[in-house]
Amino acid sequence: MATKDIVVVGSSAGGVEALQRLCASLPADFPAAVFIAQHLSASARSVLPLLLGRAGPLTALSPADGDPIEAGRIYVATPDHHMLLRPGRILMRRGPHENRTRPAVNALFRSAALAYGGRVIGVVLTGLLDDGTEGLIAIKAAGGLSIVQDPADAEWPSMPRNALKRDHVDHAVPLDQLGDLLTRLVVEPAGPTVPLPAEFEVEDQMAAQDFAVMEKTIVTPGEPSHISCPDCGGVLNEIAAQEELRFRCQVGHAFTPLGLAAAQSDELERALSIAARTHRDRIRLFEQMRDNADARKLPRAVGRWEGAAKESAEMIAILEQAMTSLRRPIGDEEG
């Protein structure tokens, strides 16, 4: 009889310490395979498998594309690659970013739901915004179980809190209780697998494609919106699921509403930073022209250049105030 032997875990800010504590709490005879998507810098060499292997008794590694799945192992997604599951094997692919991240928690969870259905346990730990929420919904819809770290126990509570808001979570527990809970759950019989809607399969296929070989036969699900993709500028399609929208462009970049709002804030901050820098350059130019006019005994010109410099300084103050207002994390409010 099949058991709940596929455990997928997602984390972001604060995740390295949380994952070490989780791995330390799992027993040496843990009879399931564990798959971890932790948001990482794309350019950094990850030592996370080493840290997790040292933290507990289970072997932790970053798999290669096509590696087989073995129970009792911890598989860690490598930087700049989505980790996706297929029956009996693992894919490591540089598919389109989801919420500007790769690896993305949603991509891992979605693939697990499609490949293993009722055998899957999804776990969302500490982190910002809401990566993992849509993935947990897919796992639940396919017949699996969903768990979040108690937000009050998380260093960064947004990811588990946003998952709880969607009313599909089976367990919310402190991190210190999670290892024991998983140890009990993974030996239980798997529930029946429920087929997922076609758009989940299409999005999983998108995540599995490298940009260089993106299949033209894959059609982006949903309906065109009036919003452009922050990553490539293309039109975003709206995909309605579970009384919530998510967005994906023709290239494949995907966003939750919170992820899209955060990406738009990043774009605005970048544009405002460029404007502020340009005004600083204008002040240097105006001051140089003022000094030149002063040397030539042209008082009216001196006043004109001083006024222009003052206006640019005032604009810098306005732009910096606007940038400060953008830096408040979206989706981190209480409740």
Domain co-membership, 303 together with 181 = no
Domain co-membership, 176 together with 285 = no
3-state secondary structure of 296: coil
pLDDT of residue 171 exceeding 90: yes
3-state secondary structure of 92: strand
DSSP secondary structure letters along 209-249: S-GGG--TTPPPPSEEEEEE-TTT-PEEEEEEETTEEEEEE
Catalytic site residue from 11, 25, 130, 131: 131
Residue recorded with tokens 């544009």: 271
Encode pLDDT of 53-105 as tens digits: 999 999 999 999 999 999 999 999 999 999 999 999 999 999 999 999 999 99
Domain co-membership, 172 together with 308 = no
Encode pLDDT of 107-118 as tens digits: 999 999 999 999
> Residue 145 in contact with residue 170, Cβ under 8 Å?
yes
Domain boundary pick from 141, 158, 185: 185
Asked if residue 205 is part of any domain, the answer here is no
User: With b meaning 16 or more CB within 10 Å and e meaning fewer, what string describes 243-257?
Assistant: eebbbbbbbbbbbbe
Share of the chain above pLDDT 70, in %: 94
Catalytic site residue from 5, 11, 39, 312: 39
Catalytic site residue from 11, 12, 265, 312: 12
At residue 328, the pLDDT reads 66
CA dihedral 257, 44, 65, 185 (to 10 degrees): -60
At residue 331, the pLDDT reads 56
Domain boundary pick from 126, 155, 185: 185
pLDDT of residue 211 exceeding 90: no
For residue 282, the enclosing domain spans 259-326
Domain co-membership, 174 together with 51 = yes
CA 216 to chain centroid, in Å, comes to: 26
Q: Characterize the bridge pairing of strands 89-93 and 82-86.
A: antiparallel
Asked if residue 147 is part of any domain, the answer here is yes
25 counts as catalytic: no
**How many other C-beta atoms are found inside a 10 Å radius of the C-beta of residue 39?**
23
131 counts as catalytic: yes
Question: Which are the contacts of 188, defined by CB distance < 8 A and separation ≥ 6?
Answer: 3, 4
